[in-house]
Amino acid sequence: MATLNLKQVEKTYAHGYKAIHGINLEIADGEFAVLVGPSGCGKSTLLRMIAGLETISTGDISIEDRVVNTIAPADRDIAMVFQNYALYPHMSNYANMAYGLKNRGYSKVEIDRRVREAGTILQLTELLDRKPRQLSGGQRQRVAMGRAIVREPKVFLFDEPLSNLDAKLRVDMRLEIKNLQQRLGTTSVYVTHDQVEAMTLADRLIVMNGGVAEQIGSPIDIYNAPATQFVAGFIGSPSMNFLSGRVSNDRSHVVLTDGTRLALDHNVAENRDVIVGIRPEHLSITTPTSSSIAAKVRITESLGAETLVYLTFGSKNEAITLRMQGTHKYAAGDELTLYSNPAQIHLFDQASGRRI
């Protein structure tokens, strides 16, 4: 159990590329933090810096008030789970889990106790004598987690551990990881590019983009009040709709490119160029009013429980997605009138992308 602190952490590679631009982060004892972002955003690099597999250019990383910048990975009291499991193929699952303990000089009895215990927790008892290749993907990932658990580390690090699994297994393992972490209460940092994983697992979400932490907060806070247009587009599925517009003189509404007016209750300067963000689930079909959007249906996707309707809007053919409960049928070219509650409209600055 421990806290994990990152203070102004930066990473610049030898050839000059700056992968991480000054990240500050405090992860509380027992907290489950998720780093999420598109590929190349630096989330894995950051995790590997915490693990000690990458050096830190400037700043400090400390685990339980001990600065670990120059401490070897093995001595940081952390354990990591890799995307491709990274199990030693020639060793039995038991030996895989025991290897780290063996290297640290634990007694055979203690090693056996810990491995058996982890085996029980992860339902691997019958598989301990087999080799990793005799297991399915999910089982292998459980062994990899077992290898982390037996160490009883201060911090767990997960590097996209579910990316190699099929969709159904991913959901099961997600629950298992959440369960396990709550049961053990170990501080964890989890890297993923999958926003559903991020939303469901995180106590705290760190949305990264281009080596910068765009927003840090609880998943629901981030969903409800994304700090930037990037975060708004990244969190939530399907993505938030973005339409460009301009705030009217009396600040009561925003004028979209084709002249459509949407009512606002934001406190925003008049005549300001903004990006209007509306989540697909916050749009509904209505009769034409003074604050509604008229759009043409392009494609409909029926998922059974819900229907996704892809529409185009205005002279610039801006794309809008609508998410509806239940099954609906529309033909391409149908005109729909959409409405959103002003409270659920997000405004972003057109130049900086920051939330207004």
Partner 1 sequence: MYQSKWRSLTNHIILILGSLFMIMPVWIAFASSTHTREFLFQNGLQFMPGGHFFDNYGKILFDQSATKGRVTALQMLFNSMVLGLGFAIGKVIISMMAAYAIVYFRFRLAMPLFWVIFATLLLPLEVRIVPSYEVVAKLGLLNSYTGLILPLIASATGTFFFRQFYRSVPDELLEAARLDGAGPWRFFIDILVPLSVTMIAAIFIIMFVVGWNQYLWPLLMTTDDQLYTIVIGIKQVYNSLYEGGQIPQFPKAFALTIMASIPPVLVVVIFQRMFIRGLVETEK
Please, which residues have CB within 8 angstroms of residue 5's CB and are 6 or more apart in sequence?
25, 26, 27, 60, 61, 62, 63, 65
Report H helices in 229-277: 229-234
Binding segment (CB under 8 A) for partner 1, from list 61-69, 70-78, 184-192, 200-208: 70-78
Report, in Å, the least distance between residue 112 CB and partner 1.
17
In whole angstroms, the minimum distance from the beta carbon of 96 to partner 1 comes to: 9
Six-digit token pair at 137?
Answer: 């993907």
Answer for the pair 234, 64: CB distance below 8 angstroms, yes or no.
no
Length of the chain: 356
The answer to whether 54 and 45 are in contact (CB under 8 A) is: yes
Q: Which of 1, 28, 74, 225 binds partner 1 (CB under 8 A)?
A: 74
Told to check if 100 binds partner 1 by CB under 8 A, we report yes
**Interaction between residue 104 and partner 1 (CB under 8 A):** yes
Q: CB of 284 within 8 A of CB of 338?
A: yes
**Nearest by Cα to 314 from 241, 252, 248:** 241
Of residues 82 and 310, the one with the C-beta less far from partner 1:
82
Q: Is 99 in the site for partner 1 (CB under 8 A)?
A: yes
Question: What sign does the CA torsion over 349, 223, 278, 242 have?
Answer: positive
How many residues bind partner 1 (CB under 8 A)? The answer is 25
Q: Contact letters (x/-) for partner 1, 119-158, by CB under 8 A?
A: --------------x-------------x-----------
Q: Is 79 in the site for partner 1 (CB under 8 A)?
A: yes
Q: Which stretch binds partner 1 (CB under 8 A): 46-54, 58-66, 261-269, 345-353?
A: 46-54
Kindly list the residues in this chain that would bind partner 1 in the complex (CB under 8 A): 51-53, 72-75, 78-80, 82-84, 86-91, 99-100, 103-104, 133, 147
